[in-house]
Amino acid sequence: MNNVLVITASIFGQDGQSSQLVRKTLAQLRNIHGEFQTTYRDLAAEPVPHLDASRFGAFLASADDRDGDQQRVVDYSDSLIEEIENADAIVLGVPMYNFGIPSVLKAYFDHIARAGLTFRYTENGPVGLLADRPVYILAARGGIYAGTPNDSQTPYLRSFLGFIGLKDLHFVYAEGLNMGDEQKESALQDASANIETLTA
Which pTM does this prediction carry? Answer: 0.95
Q: Where are the alpha helices (DSSP H) in the chain?
A: 17-33, 53-60, 68-85, 103-112, 153-163, 181-199
Binding residues: 10, 96-99
Say if CB 121 and CB 115 are below 8 A apart.
yes
Distances (CA, A) of 158 to 27, 31, 135: 25, 27, 11
Q: Which domains does the chain show, CATH number per domain?
A: 3-199 (3.40.50.360)
Residue 127 CA to residue 104 CA, distance in Å, equals 25
Question: What amino acid is encoded at 14 in this protein?
Answer: Q
Burial category of 176 from C-beta neighbours within 10 Å (exposed 0-12, middle 13-18, buried 19 and up): middle
**Pairing status of strand 169-174 against strand 135-140:** parallel
Residues 6+ away with beta carbon under 8 Å from 16: 8, 10, 93, 95, 140
Q: Please choose, from the candidates 156, 159, 153, the residue with its C-alpha nearest in 3D space to the C-alpha of residue 125.
A: 159
Instruction: Phi first, then psi: give them for residue 83, nearest 5 degrees.
Output: -60, -40
Question: pLDDT of the chain along its 200 residues, tens only?
Answer: 899 999 999 999 999 999 999 999 999 999 999 999 999 999 999 999 999 999 999 999 999 999 999 999 999 999 999 999 999 999 999 999 999 999 999 999 999 999 999 999 999 999 999 999 999 999 999 999 999 999 999 999 999 999 999 999 999 999 999 999 999 999 999 999 999 987 66
Binding residues for FMN: 10, 96-99
